[in-house]
Amino acid sequence: MSPVLVRVIALLSFITVVAPLKANSVTLAAAPFETYVSDEGEPSRLTSIVEAAFSRMQTDLELQVMRDAFLGSAVRSGKVDGEFAYIDLGERKDTVTLSAPYLPIYLYATGKKYDVEEIKLIPHLKDSRVAIENRFANTPKFRMLKEIKWSRNPSTYDAFKQLADDRAPYLITTHLLIEEFNLLLDKDGEELLHVSSASLMNAGFSLALGTSTPNAKATIEAFEQTIQVMQQDGSYNKILGLPWLSKDINNDGIADYIGETSVSLVPTDTLTAYPLDKSLPGDSSIYVIDGVIVETKAEAMAMLDGVKAERESLLDPDVYKTMIRRW
């Protein structure tokens, strides 16, 4: 038996085989969120993840995009079976059955000046004006933060424009969105945004099914099992456009590195990965490339095609063109 085959078998031992779900079609909805959720043909990471998962589950799926104000009533009335981009930031959950978060959210402060890098905790922003999207600001956890002068915005574009126009020195948003905006700045030769030295609040995107949805529990369980597979076989890397992900895949408490040959880069120095759980990498971290386990970094790098060109931003450059040029 070849070493590669042995390693593939070893990886499969960590993954639960997902049986097809015997269920009727499922209708899910979410509010538009740049690079995450869209129904206009734009990059939509969450849409792609959920569609791929339900395809593997062999369950018919219909996705709808609607205003955030209509989501809760749509689920309660049975118009849709649930939400596919639910963010738990302290809301009541007695009317829905939640999956485990399938994509973590790390909220960082960002700004044009270096001083933001000294920020490690939300209290460090006391009395500062901070731009933020309504999707975060209108949640219980953020409404409790009275000492910050929130500049609320209806969209991602509007939140970044507050920063661009110097109407707010800081912005709190997801780390993934900061990276996408920095790709636009870098391509135009502008100075990149600076980022707080730590995440200020963590959450996650979950599947939320109404409690009256048929087979809700079974659907959630099948979805979670499918996501476990997708996070480890390279599917997430391709969908998210992220070279490296980290997650403890063998339950030893140490984060392991997950890559995919079409998107993973050979690091020039320290390997940086987007964490899918709370574990941290260590000397015993293993590597998974295209679903194949390798024990050392050298073996993992040898499986890659070499350094690839940095990808384009998932934010629409035409939409942000004026903002970037005035930077």
Q: What are the pLDDT digits (tens) for 268-279?
A: 778 899 999 999
Q: Give per-residue pLDDT as tens, 209-260.
A: 998 898 999 999 999 999 999 999 999 999 999 999 999 999 999 999 999 9
| Arithmetic mean of pLDDT, 179-205 | 97
Residue 80 within any structural domain of the chain: yes
Angle at 109 between CA 151 and CA 280, to 5 degrees: 145
Output the pLDDT for position 16. Answer: 52
Phi and psi, residue 301, nearest 5°: -65, -30
CA distance 255 to 123: 30
Residue 154 within any structural domain of the chain: yes
Output the pLDDT for position 93. Answer: 77
Q: Are residues 71 and 143 in the same domain?
A: no
Q: Are residues 184 and 118 in the same domain?
A: yes
Q: Give per-residue pLDDT as tens, 129-143.
A: 999 999 999 999 999
Domain that holds residue 139: 104-202+315-325
Q: Are residues 90 and 225 in the same domain?
A: yes
Output the pLDDT for position 180. Answer: 98
- Residue in this structure with the two tokens 């890659």, named with its chain if needed: 304
Question: In percent, how much of the chain has pLDDT > 90?
Answer: 76
- Residue in this structure with the two tokens 């574009």, named with its chain if needed: 157
CA distance 174 to 168: 17
| Arithmetic mean of pLDDT, 294-306 | 86
Query: Which comes out higher in pLDDT, residue 296 or 226?
Result: 226
Output the pLDDT for position 10. Answer: 47
Q: Are residues 98 and 215 in the same domain?
A: yes
Residue 132 within any structural domain of the chain: yes
Output the pLDDT for position 203. Answer: 97
Q: Are residues 69 and 216 in the same domain?
A: yes
Q: Give per-residue pLDDT as tens, 41-51.
A: 899 999 999 99
Q: Are residues 187 and 140 in the same domain?
A: yes
Output the pLDDT for position 21. Answer: 53
Q: Are residues 41 and 172 in the same domain?
A: no
- Residue in this structure with the two tokens 């073996």, named with its chain if needed: 299
Q: Are residues 118 and 82 in the same domain?
A: no
Q: Are residues 321 and 174 in the same domain?
A: yes
Checking if the pLDDT of 103 tops 80, the result is: yes
CA distance 17 to 229: 8
- H/E stretch holding 81: none
Q: Are residues 43 and 163 in the same domain?
A: no
pLDDT band, residue 5 (cuts 50/70/90): very low
Contact in structure between 117 and 141 (CB atoms under 8 Å)? no
Residue 286 within any structural domain of the chain: yes
Checking if the pLDDT of 294 tops 60, the result is: yes
Residue 7 within any structural domain of the chain: no
pLDDT band, residue 326 (cuts 50/70/90): confident
Contact in structure between 37 and 30 (CB atoms under 8 Å)? yes
Output the pLDDT for position 270. Answer: 81
Q: Following DSSP, what letter does each residue of 46-76 receive, concatenated?
A: HHHHHHHHHHHTT--EEEEE--HHHHHHHHH
Residue 309 within any structural domain of the chain: no
Q: Are residues 75 and 117 in the same domain?
A: no
Checking if the pLDDT of 15 tops 70, the result is: no
Checking if the pLDDT of 151 tops 80, the result is: yes
CA distance 172 to 109: 4
Residue 310 within any structural domain of the chain: no
Output the pLDDT for position 157. Answer: 98
Q: Are residues 114 and 57 in the same domain?
A: no
Residue type, 52: A
Residue 308 within any structural domain of the chain: no
> Residue 45 sits in a domain of what CATH number?
3.40.190.10
CA distance 260 to 245: 10
Q: How many CA atoms lie within 13 A of 102 on its CB side?
A: 35
CA distance 150 to 143: 10
Contacts 24+ apart (CB under 8 A), 262-270: 262/238, 263/237, 263/238, 263/308, 263/311, 264/237, 264/289, 264/304, 265/304, 265/307, 265/308, 266/301, 266/304, 266/306, 266/307, 268/307
Output the pLDDT for position 22. Answer: 52
Question: In percent, how much of the chain has pLDDT > 70?
Answer: 91
Beta-strand pair 245-247/254-259: antiparallel
Q: Which of 290, 303, 294 is nearest to 230 (CA)?
A: 290
Output the pLDDT for position 92. Answer: 77
Output the pLDDT for position 308. Answer: 66
Q: Out of 233, 254, 274, pick the residue that ends a domain.
A: 233
What value does the mean pLDDT of the chain take?
Answer: 91
CA distance 243 to 233: 13
Checking if the pLDDT of 79 tops 90, the result is: yes
Output the pLDDT for position 268. Answer: 72
Query: Which comes out higher in pLDDT, residue 15 or 28?
Result: 28
Q: Which of 170, 177, 157 is nearest to 196 (CA)?
A: 170
Domain count, the chain: 3
